Amino acid sequence: MRSLAIRLTDLYRSLRPWLAVLGARRGRLWLGAALMLATLVSALGLLSLSGWFITATAVAALSVPVFFDVFAPGSGVRAFAVARTASRYLERLYNHDTVLRLLADLRGGVFARLVRLDARTLSRARAAQWLNRLTADIDTLDNLYLRLLAPPLVALVAILGFALFAMLFLPAAGWLLLALLLPLWLALTLGCALWGWRASHRRVDRQEALRVRAVEQVEGLAELTAYAALETHLDHWRAEEQGLIADQRQLGQRTAAANALTTLVIQLAAVGVLGLGLAALSSGVLSGAVMVMLTLGTLAVAEGLGGLPMAFTQLGATQRAAERLNAQTALTPEQEGESLQSGGAAPSLAYRDVGLRQGPRWVLRGIDLALAPGQIVGVIGASGSGKSTLAQLAVRAFDPDVGELRFDDHVVAELAPDSLRARIGYLTQRSELFHDTLAANLRMGDPTASDAQLWAVLEQVDLYDWAEALPQGLQTWVGEQGRQLSGGQARRVALARVMLRNSPLVILDEPLSGLDAATAQVVRAALSRWLAGRTALLLAHESAALPGCDSSWRLVSDAGGATLQKI
Amino acid sequence: MSRGSRSGARSRPRNPSRAWLEAQATAIRPWHRRALGCGLIVAVATLVQMGGLAWIVAHAVIAGQGIAELWPVLLVVGLALVLRAAAQWGQEVSGQACGLTVKREVRAQLLAKLHALGPVRLASRHSAGIASQLVDQVESLEGYYARFRPQVMLALLVPLLYLVVVLWLNWLAAIWLLIAAPLIPLFMALIGMGAQRLNEAQFRAVTRLSGHFLDRVRGITTLQLFGLGERATAEVSDVAHDYRRRSMRTLRVAFLSSAVLEFFAAVSVAVVAIYIGLGLLGYIDYGPAGELDLFSGLFILLLAPEFFQPLRTLSQHYHDRASALGAAEGLMALLDEPVPVPATDSASAQAPSGAMTAAVELEAVELSHVGRQRVLGPLSLRVESGEVVALVGPSGSGKSSLLQLIAGFVAADRGRVAVTPGPAIAWLDQRPLIIQGTLAENLRLVAPTASDAALRSALEEAGLGAWLRAAKGGLDTPLGERGVGLSGGEGQRLALARVFLSPARLVLLDEPTAALDPETERAVVTALQRLAATGRTLLVATHHPALMAMADRVLALDGGRLVSAPGTLWQEVPIS
């Protein structure tokens, strides 16, 4: 009982934000449920009226010739037949459209929240996990209305309605229906939910783990193949797959059992109503036609209960998906601030006694660094010493724990990140290219750049000849994460993208990494020309890997965090 | 195959996706039969139950019998419906076993295919797209084997059974049912064809959708830096709405097929009910209407919906078929992709030349990528066992391609590649593989039986000793996709630790120091020297002077060819 209470609380807490999203379209949802009810009532009506009609005619035929109106019930039967088809078609179409509308909105909304997260939060989760949240988790939520809210509600209304209807003719039959069908309804909703909870809850995570393994197989195939380590990795894969299949088998068996229970209880109820009817018939309380009508109507109630076992054994999965989406949306960043005028001359950038902690460990401590307008400053440091962190502070990927940064005379922590970043061209340590064309990747730097401008910037990074020799030129797809390019080519495309941005403040993190000596010479010379008149912070592991700087510093790490030393 | 059937196949080609789906079903025959058997038991039990109900009503209403006389029939009805529920359970469970088995086998096939294709051919594909094929598309095969396929046979057999009974009771009523029944498969076939085409389109959309998402999510930091967050969000939203429109197009058709069926079923039940009613009243003189009594009338009425039920169930499962066919098309495209003939002629043992044995020998090898110019060759190369060779050259000169060729990831278009057979080849490139799991699991990939001490010493030699001592979890520290908790340099060194741990004699390194600082780099170079001293053969693509200096031989590549004769010493280009 306690676990039931806990699960229900959990469930409500996880689903509350999504129920609120549903609430925004309340009108559509009620109309959808009404259509569902209309479908069920037509099915009920069709079978019970037909049963009544046949029995009544048989009785009428036996008795002395009397007038029997065949037209009213006949057209009633036909009307129910047509209504059932029409309402069912409309209901399914309308409700699915509603749900997909909600899902499309949700996806955009979730991505919008992701885009606003800061670098620290983002680095906590893995890429495939985000993807799964965006697609599978949101998809799992479509269960919420179409399978978990409307159908049980409609089924309950139908059970109560039909039992009351039966009571009008034979109270005992009505009570019997309530006594059998209400517990059945509870078993199919609450019972199934609890019964399938653990396996379906786990299934979501297992399916995701399998996806991650698949991505590993593809992305790590080179290493796995060369080392003949495929079998070892396949063992990991098989372990996840076995677990997933075991869960699915258990859920399937339980759903099947619940379906069988539905059949059994509904049919028993029909037999029970018939038995009560027979007793009432012999005592003259009930007509034969009504007895048959109630029996057949009971059978038709099954139609409203059919979808419940499948939906409710999977409730755990819905809850898990909601829970994970919630965990992600809870990480709302607090990054707001005044916005900065765009454009303008080369700004100054200053670090004033900046310190940054990662958990208990100091990454940077007592950093004082001033870049005058138009000055080019180099920072040299070993990998992992905090160079990239220095750059990330400047674009407000996160704020320092101690001290402050100043962009001209603004405190960076008080600036809106977007307006700040609009004035900074930042080449990150990893060349992040998108699965798109070469032109599209370059135009991220300047969406309005002409082809001529793209060619000009390619010339600067010594990629002109290469791009010109490509059969598809600028329209060549660069592959996932730029994999169709060599490491050095990807680096230069990323650099070209930053150059197109034409910002007054430039931060370049290892701009020449992965380039051979000859190419590095060419690009270094081009960079030196291009950097003239801009404020620049250049980061590398050795000064040879940078264009000429006005001043250079070394980032030295020790136990208390990295500090700067003038070279 | 006979001539006739071949010409028939030409005019109306058998759907290859369907043939493929059928081919997967050979292993599940016993479970499939069990599902069918249970389905038939359900039908017979239903027949008994409905007959019993009609009997009871007829005898109670017309003959005035009470529960005292009718209880044995009531008992039979009760037993029949227990049997019915049990068989229904059996059918569902057996069907599910079919689905689970097929999924597992198709996944195994797909993985084998990915391995056969090799890393270079997969490089142009979206790993998220492939992951979605392996997990989600295969998932959508289940319904076809679990529900649709058994139901196809049942939808044929069960109505036939009921029809025989109705025919025996009243042939005219049977004809009412028969008129509606054949129209149903016709309509369904027409609608199903359209639904399948739409489903295929939808599957492509889903694959593109997940690829698009992963790509944008991966690059989210870059999107933020370039101020493209809002544009990308709008794009994601557009793609999602496009997905909705596609889905609705599919659903509209899919629902129409079941609506047509429902319509015919409902109208038939109504017509039968009215016919029986009028027949009982004696308004119809034609045919056997006069012989109708309450028992036969009610029995027919109860059977009429049951007659259509298997077809309705089939139509509810029709989308299972459509999504399976849609998935099959994508899966077949992957499974049918031609696998290159293995280029590495590892079987041909090399005659020893002098005291040394050639670890690698290439003869007039040429290589080109699809849609690109030639990337390599003609090129001949001989690397002796235990030799350390550095490959240098501008980026794009073919260094990586040469290593891929030796590793056997790509097949040469011309020429001969021979590699001395060994247990494995050690490989390290710029994107080290970090699997989800502990540090130890990551290392044991290449040496499953290695002891903890061996893991520690490998980490030590790769320059991760200090990191390991600082890590709270030690060897059990969990690592994630793309190495959360590891910097670029640390990830690289983890991959290097694998090299030390592996029993491989041939080591291929693609820019192993690209992300390392001078200090770590010095440590790595020392470690690589230790590695070479163990007699391993090293081929290193690099720009780095320290690594070139370490090599016995430096080979320069340009435009896919060796520009300095093998054996010449490399003139070190000063970096600044």
The CATH code of the domain that includes A322 is 1.20.1560.10
Residue A535 belongs to some domain of the structure: yes
Range of the domain at A408: 349-566
Confirm if A255 and B35 have CB atoms less than 8 A apart.
no
Is A361 in CB contact (< 8 Å) with chain B? no
Residue numbers in B near A56 (CB within 8 A): 277
A367 phi and psi angles, rounded to 5 deg = -85, 120
pLDDT of the residue at B448: 86
pLDDT of the residue at B346: 37
Distance from CA of B362 to the nearest CA of A (A): 18
B286 phi and psi angles, rounded to 5 deg = -75, 140
Residue A307 DSSP SS3: coil
- Starting at the edge strand found earlier in the chain, the sheet holding B553-558 runs B425-428, B506-510, B537-541, B388-392, B553-558, B561-562
* Domain co-membership, A311 together with A379: no
Distance from CA of A434 to the nearest CA of B (A): 6
User: Across the A/B interface, how many CB contacts are shorter than 8 Å?
Assistant: 479
Of B423, B448, B447, B443, nearest to B432 by C-alpha is B443
**In what helix (H) or strand (E) does residue B281 lie, and over which residues does it extend?**
helix B229-281
**Distance in angstroms (rounded) separating the CA atoms of residues B118 and A382:** 35
Q: Which CATH number fits domain B12-335: 1.20.1560.10, 2.40.40.20, 3.40.1360.10, 1.10.8.50?
A: 1.20.1560.10
User: Which residue is closest to B103 within chain A, CA to CA?
Assistant: A245
Which residue in B85, B277, B395 is closest to A57 by CB distance? Answer: B277
pLDDT of the residue at A133: 61
Q: Which residues of chain A have pLDDT under 70?
A: 1-2, 62-68, 119-135, 142-143, 328-336, 341-343, 359-361, 383-384, 481, 558-560
Please answer yes or no on whether B373 and A248 come within 8 Å at the CB atom.
no
Location of each CATH 1.20.1560.10 domain in chain B: 12-335
Angle B534-B535-B537 (CA atoms, 0-180°, nearest 5)?
A: 120
Tell me the longest C-alpha to C-alpha distance in chain B: 114
Bond prior to B378 in cis (omega within 30° of 0): yes
Confirm if B555 and B542 have CB atoms less than 8 A apart.
no
Which residue in B214, B393, B490 is closest to A516 by CB distance? Answer: B393
Instruction: Give Cα separations from A318 to A4, A14, A306 (angstroms).
Output: 17, 9, 19
Which residue in A62, A135, A248 is closest to B213 by CB distance? Answer: A135
pLDDT of the residue at B464: 83
E-strand ranges in B237-316 read none
* Fold (topology level) of B358-562: Rossmann fold (3.40.50)
**Distance in angstroms (rounded) separating the CA atoms of residues A273 and A178:** 11
User: Which residue is closest to B129 within chain A, CA to CA?
Assistant: A215
pLDDT of the residue at A122: 67
Distance from CA of A41 to the nearest CA of B (A): 14
Q: Check the CA dihedral A460-A462-A465-A467 and report its sign.
A: negative
* Domain co-membership, A553 together with A411: yes
Residue numbers in B near A230 (CB within 8 A): 115
* Domain co-membership, A277 together with A363: no
Residue B425 DSSP SS3: strand
* Domain co-membership, A287 together with A357: no
Distance from CA of B359 to the nearest CA of A (A): 15
Residue A5 belongs to some domain of the structure: no
pLDDT of the residue at B10: 41
A101-124 burial, b for 16+ CB within 10 Å, e for fewer?
ebbbbbbbbbbbbbbbbbbeebee
Residue A13 belongs to some domain of the structure: no
Q: Which of A44, A245, A498, A516 to mutate to test the interface with B (most CBs of B within 10 A)?
A: A516
**Distance in angstroms (rounded) separating the CA atoms of residues A292 and B286:** 27
Looking at this protein, which amino acid is placed at residue B110?
L
**In what helix (H) or strand (E) does residue A463 lie, and over which residues does it extend?**
none
Residue B50 DSSP SS3: helix
B31-70 burial, b for 16+ CB within 10 Å, e for fewer?
bbebbbebbbbbbebbbbbbbbbbbbbbbbbbeebebeeb
A297 phi and psi angles, rounded to 5 deg = -60, -40
A251 phi and psi angles, rounded to 5 deg = -65, -40
Distance from CA of B100 to the nearest CA of A (A): 7
Residue A342 belongs to some domain of the structure: no
Is A422 in CB contact (< 8 Å) with chain B? yes
DSSP state at residue A436: S
Instruction: Give Cα separations from B411 to B160, B330, B415, B509 (angstroms).
Output: 58, 25, 10, 19
Residue A224 belongs to some domain of the structure: yes
Residue numbers in A near B62 (CB within 8 A): 58, 62
Angle A348-A510-B518 (CA atoms, 0-180°, nearest 5)?
A: 120
Of B538, B545, B524, B525, nearest to B388 by C-alpha is B538
pLDDT of the residue at B565: 46
Confirm if A113 and A326 have CB atoms less than 8 A apart.
no
Residue A102 belongs to some domain of the structure: yes
Q: Residue A555 forms beta bridges with which residues?
A: A381, A564
If you search the block for the tokens 């694998």, which residue do you land on?
Answer: B498
Let me know if B462 is exposed, middle or buried by CB neighbors in 10 A (0-12, 13-18, 19+).
Answer: buried
The answer for B535, left when phi > 0, alpha when psi is -120 to 50, beta otherwise, is: left
Confirm if B250 and B260 have CB atoms less than 8 A apart.
no
**Distance in angstroms (rounded) separating the CA atoms of residues A561 and A556:** 8
* Domain co-membership, A131 together with A216: yes
Location of each CATH 3.40.50.300 domain in chain B: 358-562
Q: Which of B34, B222, B446, B449 to mutate to test the interface with A (most CBs of A within 10 A)?
A: B222
**Distance in angstroms (rounded) separating the CA atoms of residues A134 and A125:** 13
B540-571 confidence digits (pLDDT tens):
998 778 788 888 888 888 888 888 644 444 44
Residue A312 DSSP SS3: helix
Please answer yes or no on whether A78 and B270 come within 8 Å at the CB atom.
yes
Please answer yes or no on whether B67 and A278 come within 8 Å at the CB atom.
yes
> What tokens appear for B320 in the block?
């299972």
Residue B385 DSSP SS3: coil
pLDDT of the residue at B12: 46
Which residue in A136, A271, A520 is closest to B74 by CB distance? Answer: A271
pLDDT of the residue at A451: 94
Residue numbers in A near B136 (CB within 8 A): 136
Please answer yes or no on whether A278 and B56 come within 8 Å at the CB atom.
yes
pLDDT of the residue at B569: 42
* Domain co-membership, A526 together with A448: yes
Of A491, A361, A480, A504, nearest to A420 by C-alpha is A504
Q: Which residues of chain B have pLDDT under 50?
A: 1-12, 342-356, 482-483, 565-576
Please answer yes or no on whether A481 and B218 come within 8 Å at the CB atom.
yes
**In what helix (H) or strand (E) does residue A402 lie, and over which residues does it extend?**
strand A402-407
* Domain co-membership, A93 together with A179: yes
Please answer yes or no on whether A126 and B270 come within 8 Å at the CB atom.
no
Distance from CA of A99 to the nearest CA of B (A): 9
**Distance in angstroms (rounded) separating the CA atoms of residues B545 and A71:** 100
Confirm if B426 and B469 have CB atoms less than 8 A apart.
no
* Domain co-membership, A322 together with A358: no
Confirm if B134 and B111 have CB atoms less than 8 A apart.
yes
Distance from CA of B20 to the nearest CA of A (A): 23
Question: Residue B10: how many CB atoms within 10 A of its CB?
Answer: 8
Residue A121 belongs to some domain of the structure: yes
B364 phi and psi angles, rounded to 5 deg = 45, 50
Q: Which of B41, B48, B61 to mutate to test the interface with A (most CBs of A within 10 A)?
A: B61
Residues 141-170 on A with a CB inside 8 Å of B are none
pLDDT of the residue at A84: 85
pLDDT of the residue at A529: 92
Residue A44 belongs to some domain of the structure: yes
**Number of structural domains in chain A:** 2
